[in-house]
Structure 1
Amino acid sequence: MNVSVELCSPPELDDRLTIVRAGDEVDGIFVRTKRFNVLVDTLGTPELCRKALDLLGEDVHARPLLVVNSHMDWDHFWGNAAIAGRAPIIAHAATLERLRDPSSVQVLKDKVREDQRFRNVELIAPDITFSDSTTLHGGDLTLELLHTPGHTPDHVSVWIPEIRVCLAVDAVEYPIPEVWSRSAHDLRLLCSSLQRICDLSARFVIPAHGRTLSPTTVDDNLLYFKELASRVENLSEKDLLSPGLNKAVGFRLQDFVAIPAGMAQEVVAFYEGFHDTNLGATIQARLDG
């Protein structure tokens, strides 16, 4: 699979922000401040990250470079080897816990079997970690790194108050985000993170998937989870435990959100998988009382 990298500068965004787009796979963000530049996420392979750095050109060398890993999912941090030794990498402390889990190595082995473009990936740990939140003071811009778990335990969003922009990464997604597991605990965490982002009253909210800047995406995501809970609330325990509920009329993905026109069927199936996990977590929350 060949993935191209391009730089996108939507005219409505502050010119100190550039979207680093790796095809349909993921969007990273490059932020310029007076004191340093920040790359939020290194994309899915070192090669993709190097292409991004080449496209950014002199901007990369104009000031010291910092890197933020929003979370440890492969499409966001497997490019770290292109940065290691050149710039400090910052992430939430829970990233180290995920890296130590044997499943992280297994995911890489599985991806290499699927696609040889992952053969040069090294699992590079962050240099600096934090708990809850930390702040990068750039002089003209402040980057507040907020722990927003639920999609993953280590997920971080970035709030830039001076321009009221939230880099929500995977905590917000169009058409829907996915909860980490089918547990009620993770569901509560994701909904709390969505509410935290909503409460920022951002002018622009930039997720890593979905190619949207609109803060209404956060409202739509919250409404989706509220509607899930409402419909599950009216079911008997027998119905809750019925297999294939996510395919039943009234509980399908398209019964909660509009499927974007022209979305490829394999992408629809991908988000149906998200919906199935979200529904499972909502059912568990109901069963837990």
Structure 2
Amino acid sequence: MDAVFVRAERFNVLIDTLGTPEQCRMALDLLDEKEAKTRPLMVVNSHMDWDHFWGNAAIAGRAPIIAHAATLDRLRDPSTQQVLKDKTSKDSRFGNVEIIGPDITFSSSMTLNGGDLTLELIHTPGHTPDHIAIWIPELRICLAVDAVEYPIPEVWSRSASDLHLIRSSLQKIRDLDARLVIPAHGRTWSPSTVDANLAYFEALADRVGTLSEDQLADGQLGSASGFRFEDFVAIPDGMPSETVTFYRNCHETNLGATVHAHLETVKSA
């Protein structure tokens, strides 16, 4: 997980606050003290996944926190507090986490005019309902956060609508024609990652489209030859086994969403 600091003429912007207040304070301590005093700080939560906003308590009261309006629905969901309880029970570093929501929300897009730099906050749902990417046109840099990921992103659910949203968001990011596309995970900045993500979802759709109804109903489809994670994406050299397992699970969700999307298409034909 990563946070990004952007220095503009009129203000500083922190994109995401990491997974704990302590991590966020460590990130802020990296800033030059004079720098921190000469420009006001603004914070953008890209989305309300724990590793991107649980550090908000380190910011609350000292800087405005901006997020998409759909974050409010996620914050009201009991599962948000349950995730915190579960993680705290397993790891003491989450004991100081307090769920702090945004101060400012928007529904479609929002522009922060920093003088020399513009930060366009673009709604890019699909990975989560509230996800936003940040486009800096003067630099032609897109901070894609989790909408783009190496080796693959994960769709929010196995529904056809969420699959449509993540593919549309990827296309929206590709249409920016960015010089650099920087996701939060994967240690890459190449725009080719967007193309690779789109190609992955297209390959999933093409392969699922060859199956019979009985084959589509197979609950173990993701383990079948030709439909496994590694049949679509080369596993990066040196990737830890637990990380491979994580992306296998992402693939299972993506495959399930693709199956549902195909079945809906067949029924409507």
Aligned partner (choices 44, 64, 72) of residue 19 of structure 2: 44
Q: Which has the higher helix share?
A: 2
Using the TM superposition, give the Cα deviation of residue 60 of structure 1 relative to its aligned residue in structure 2, in angstroms.
Answer: 2.6
Q: Does 1:231 align with 2:201?
A: no
Q: Does 1:33 align with 2:25?
A: no
Residue aligning to 2:117: 141
Residue aligning to 1:273: 249
Measure, in 2, the Cα distance between the counterparts of 1:117 and 1:60.
27
Residue aligning to 1:19: none
Using the TM superposition, give the Cα deviation of residue 244 of structure 1 relative to its aligned residue in structure 2, in angstroms.
Answer: 1.1
Aligned partner (choices 203, 206, 211) of residue 179 of structure 2: 203
Using the TM superposition, give the Cα deviation of residue 243 of structure 1 relative to its aligned residue in structure 2, in angstroms.
Answer: 1.8
Residue aligning to 1:57: 32
Deviations, residues 47-87 of structure 1 (Å, cap 9, x unaligned): 00001111123233330000000000000000000000000
Q: Does 1:240 align with 2:216?
A: yes
The one-letter code of the counterpart of 1:219 is D
Deviations, residues 193-245 of structure 1 (Å, cap 9, x unaligned): 00000000000000000010100000000000000000000000100011211
Deviations, residues 238-284 of structure 1 (Å, cap 9, x unaligned): 00011211111100111111110011111100000000000000000
Measure, in 1, the Cα distance between the counterparts of 2:150 and 2:36.
30
SS in 1 for 2:6: strand
Residue aligning to 2:260: 284
Measure, in 2, the Cα distance between the counterparts of 1:139 and 1:72.
28
Measure, in 2, the Cα distance between the counterparts of 1:62 and 1:41.
21
Measure, in 1, the Cα distance between the counterparts of 2:36 and 2:121.
21
Q: Does 1:84 align with 2:57?
A: no
Ranges in structure 1 where 5+ consecutive residues have no aligned partner: 1-25
Aligned partner (choices 218, 225, 229) of residue 249 of structure 1: 225
Measure, in 2, the Cα distance between the counterparts of 1:171 and 1:72.
13
Measure, in 2, the Cα distance between the counterparts of 1:55 and 1:255.
42
Measure, in 2, the Cα distance between the counterparts of 1:236 and 1:139.
57
The one-letter code of the counterpart of 2:13 is V
Ranges in structure 2 where 5+ consecutive residues have no aligned partner: none
The one-letter code of the counterpart of 1:46 is P
Measure, in 2, the Cα distance between the counterparts of 1:57 and 1:268.
37
Residue aligning to 1:171: 147
The one-letter code of the counterpart of 2:200 is Y
Q: Does 1:184 align with 2:145?
A: no
> What TM-score does the superposition give when structure 2 sets the normalisation length?
0.97
The aligned length equals 264
The one-letter code of the counterpart of 2:146 is D
Query: Within 5 A, what are the aligned runs for 1:76-115?
Result: 76-115=52-91
The one-letter code of the counterpart of 2:145 is V
Residue aligning to 1:123: 99
Deviations, residues 124-171 of structure 1 (Å, cap 9, x unaligned): 010000011000000000000000000000001000000000000000
Q: Does 1:213 align with 2:189?
A: yes
SS in 2 for 1:143: strand
SS in 2 for 1:196: helix
SS in 1 for 2:154: coil
Measure, in 1, the Cα distance between the counterparts of 2:36 and 2:127.
30
